[in-house]
Amino acid sequence: MNLYEKKIVKNVKITAFSLRVLSVVHEARMCHGLRHKDYQLYRQYCSRRIRRIRKRFDFRQGDKKFKKKDMHADAIKDEKLLELPLLLSERCWAYAMQLKEESMQDPRKKYALRNKLRKAATHSVSFEQIVEGCHRCDARTQLEVQGYSAWLQGTVLFELAEWTQQWDAPVAFFTKAIAVYSKLSEAVNEEEASIISGLLSELEVQMRYCRHHLGDQAATISLLAMTNNTALGEKLNVLVSLAREKQASTLSEVTWKNRTMAVKHEKVRMFLIAEGESSSGGGKSRGGQDRVDQYDRLLMECKDAIALVRDDLNTDPSFKSRQQTSSGAVSSGHFLYTYLCYLRLSLTLQRNLAMTSNYTAIISGAMQPPKGSKMPREQDVVRLYDLCIQSLTETRLLSGLEDDLELKQENDAKVTFFKAMRCFHVGESYAKQEKWAEALVLYDRTAERITEAKAIPELQESDRASLASASDKLISLTCTAKAEVLLSLSSTPQQVTPTHLAKKPLSERLDEYVEDQCLLNHTNPRVLTMPPAASPVPCKPLFFDLALNHIGFPSLDHKLPVKGAEAASPASAGEANKPDQPGGLSGLVKGLWGWGSKK
C-alpha cells in the first residue's frame, strides 16, 4: 500500500455497528404471536425475516442446490446482518417451545424438542463469537449479545434438566445473564429498563427452582410463596402440589377451639394446608382479581372436603338430629364438619370483602375495571355487604358454636360495622340517582351507625380505620345533599291555589289551570265529586208482544153454525170444503211461524 492509499484509509470514517438485541427481540415477540403464546406464528415470522435478509444482502445458500454458507465476523458488512444469527437462534427456540406444547398430546415430539433446544444454544454461541470477532460492533451491542447468549443457553439447559437432572448447569449461565443485565439496566432508558426488570425477575425465579432441586430449602420456601408467578408455568403448580402432598402425609389431626379432630381424607388435609398457607400471608400479598380467584379456588376445594366429611357422617344417627337442634353434645367428626363449614363461610366473607374493595376502588376511579367486564355500581357493593352479614349470621347457627360467647361478640361487632358501611353505600346510590332527600336521611342514619360501631370494644382496628374514612367522607357528602335539597326547593316556586278553586274537583275546572297539590296525593286525589249527584233519567218504554197472551176475548160460540144445519144447507157446501181456520190473534201467530200446526 503506497502513501496515497494510506491517506485515503485514514480519511475514511468507520461507522460502528449497533444492535439493540433486547428491544428487537421483545418487539418481534410481542408483535408476531408471543403476546398470545403462539410460538408457531413467531417461528414463521423468523423464517420470513431470515429469507428477506439473505436475499437483500446476497447471502443466500445456493439457488437450485443448497450450499451452506456459514456466518463469520468478516462477512458482517452491514449492521442489519447482525440480525441473521439472532433470528436463527430465535427460530430454533420458538420451534422448541412449539414442540413442547405439542408434546403434551404426542410424546414422540420430545426428541425433536431436545434437538431444537440444542440447536438454539449452538446458534447463540455462534452469534456471540461473531460479535466478539467483529471489531466494528460497539460495546453495548457486545454486552447485550453476551447477556442474550447466557440467557438462551441457561434456558436451554433449564428445559433439558427435566431429562438430564443436571440442575447445576443452568445456574452459571443464569448468574452471568443476571450480572450482565443488571449492569446494562443502569445505562438504558425507562422503556428498556422495564423490559430488563421483567427478564431479571423471571431469571431469579428459574434460579430458585434450580436451587430447589439442588436441596436449597430457602429457595423452596420462596417458591411456594410465589403462587401467582407465571415464569415457571406448570412447573410451579407441580412443585406446590408435591409440597402439599408431602405435608399432607404428616397431617393426621387438626386442633380448633381447644378440640383435636382426626383428619382421614387426603383431600381434606390438602385443603387445610392450602387454607393455612393463604391465611398465613400468601393471599394477603395479592391484590385485585388475583386474590378473588384464589378464594374461589379455595372455596371449590372446601366444598369437596365438606362433601367427603358429610358422607362419613351420614351413617352417624346423631348427626342429623344434632343438626336440627341448637343444643347437645357434638362428636369429633361432627365438629370437624362444623370447622370446615366455618372455614367455608370465612372464605366466602373474605372473598366478598375483596370484591367490595375492588368495586369501591373502581367506582372511585382509583382502579380500572378489567377488560370485558361491566362497570360496578353502588347497588353491587350493597349486595356484597348483605352477603357478608348473611355469612356471619350463618356462622352463629353452626353446631357446637351456639354457646361461643367470644365468637358471638366478634360477629356482632362485624355485623354492626357492615350495616354502617351498607347504609353509607345505599345513601351513595340514592345520591347517584339525584334523590337528595333520601340520601340525606341515609347519611344521617349512617352517622348514627358509625357512632354505634365505634363504641363496640371488640371492633378491629382495620374496621375502625374504614369507619373513620367513611365518617370523613360523610361530612362533605351531607353538606352536598343539604345544598341540593335547598336548591331544589328554591328553584320550584310554590303557587298558591285560589280560595274559590280550592274545593272544586278537577272535572269542574278543566278550563282553568291551577297547580293543586291535592292531585299529587295518590290516596285521595280531588278529581271527581264522589258520589255523583242524582239526576232524572227517562225510563225505557215497555211494550211486550207476550202481553196479548193475557188478554181475555169474548166467546163467539153462539155465532158458529150447528153441525146438522151444515149438512142440510147448500149455501154452506162450499164453506164445508174449506179447512178449519184458527180464530183470534193466537191462531194468526201460530200459522205465521208454523206453531201449533198439525203435521
Q: Determine, yes or no, domain membership for 524.
A: no
What number is the average pLDDT over the span 453-476?
Answer: 89
Task: Give 330-387 pLDDT, tens digit per residue.
Answer: 888 888 888 899 999 999 999 999 999 988 888 888 888 877 778 888 999 999 999 9
* pLDDT score, position 390: 93
Burial 391-416 (b: 16+ CB within 10 A, else e): bbeebeebbbbeeeeebeebbebbbb
What number is the average pLDDT over the span 25-41?
Answer: 89
Single out the residue in 396, 418, 434 at which a domain terminates: 396
**Highest-scoring range by mean pLDDT, 81-85, 117-121, 555-559:** 117-121
Q: Determine, yes or no, domain membership for 239.
A: no
Same domain, yes or no: 51 and 171: yes
**Ramachandran region of residue 526, left (φ > 0), alpha (ψ -120 to 50) or beta?**
beta
Mean pLDDT is lowest, of 147-151, 343-347, 558-562, for 558-562
pLDDT at 505 over 90: no
> Is the distance from CB of 201 to CB of 231 less than 8 angstroms?
yes
Q: Determine, yes or no, domain membership for 479.
A: yes
**Highest-scoring range by mean pLDDT, 65-79, 230-244, 320-334:** 320-334
Single out the residue in 454, 475, 492 at which a domain terminates: 492
Amino acid at 42: Y
Output the domain CATH number for residue 451.
1.20.58
Single out the residue in 396, 430, 454 at which a domain terminates: 396
* pLDDT score, position 41: 93
* pLDDT score, position 110: 87
Q: Determine, yes or no, domain membership for 459.
A: yes
Same domain, yes or no: 389 and 275: yes
* pLDDT score, position 217: 64
Same domain, yes or no: 74 and 216: yes
Same domain, yes or no: 137 and 153: yes
Distance separating alpha carbons of residues 267 and 241, to the nearest angstrom: 12
* pLDDT score, position 275: 80
pLDDT at 466 over 80: yes
Assign 417 a pLDDT band (cuts: 50, 70, 90): very high
Assign 578 a pLDDT band (cuts: 50, 70, 90): very low
Same domain, yes or no: 469 and 389: no
Same domain, yes or no: 259 and 337: yes
Distance separating alpha carbons of residues 150 and 190, to the nearest angstrom: 23
Entry pTM? 0.51
* pLDDT score, position 541: 58
- In the chain, the N- to C-terminal Cα span, in Å, equals 152
Assign 4 a pLDDT band (cuts: 50, 70, 90): very low
Mean pLDDT is lowest, of 114-123, 197-206, 225-234, 557-566, for 225-234
Assign 574 a pLDDT band (cuts: 50, 70, 90): very low
Same domain, yes or no: 200 and 94: yes
Q: Over the chain, what is the mean pLDDT?
A: 79
Pick 515 or 264 by higher pLDDT: 264
Residue 3 neighbours by CB distance under 10 Å: 6
Q: Are strands 253-256 and 259-262 parallel, antiparallel or unpaired?
A: antiparallel
Same domain, yes or no: 289 and 418: no
pLDDT at 432 over 70: yes
Task: Give 242-279 pLDDT, tens digit per residue.
Answer: 555 555 555 567 788 888 888 887 788 778 877 877 77
Same domain, yes or no: 178 and 280: no
Pick 141 or 582 by higher pLDDT: 141
Pick 252 or 428 by higher pLDDT: 428
Number of domains in the chain: 3
Same domain, yes or no: 324 and 457: no
> Is the distance from CB of 46 to CB of 91 less than 8 angstroms?
yes
Pick 8 or 369 by higher pLDDT: 369
Residue 77 neighbours by CB distance under 10 Å: 11
* pLDDT score, position 444: 92
* pLDDT score, position 6: 44
Q: Determine, yes or no, domain membership for 497.
A: no
Q: What is the dihedral of CA 196, 200, 203, 207, to 10 degrees?
A: 160
Assign 70 a pLDDT band (cuts: 50, 70, 90): confident
* pLDDT score, position 10: 44
Distance separating alpha carbons of residues 301 and 266, to the nearest angstrom: 12
What number is the average pLDDT over the span 28-36?
Answer: 88
Same domain, yes or no: 92 and 195: yes
Q: Determine, yes or no, domain membership for 240.
A: no
The SS3 assignment for 413 reads helix
Mean pLDDT is lowest, of 5-19, 94-108, 129-143, 287-301, for 5-19
Pick 547 or 389 by higher pLDDT: 389
Same domain, yes or no: 270 and 306: yes
Q: Determine, yes or no, domain membership for 499.
A: no
* pLDDT score, position 572: 46
Mean pLDDT is lowest, of 38-52, 59-73, 183-197, 522-536, for 59-73
Assign 91 a pLDDT band (cuts: 50, 70, 90): very high
* pLDDT score, position 252: 66
Pick 45 or 264 by higher pLDDT: 45
What number is the average pLDDT over the span 479-495?
Answer: 76
Domain holding 174, by residue range, is: 14-60+70-229
Assign 8 a pLDDT band (cuts: 50, 70, 90): very low
Q: Determine, yes or no, domain membership for 515.
A: no
Output the domain CATH number for residue 19.
1.10.3450.40
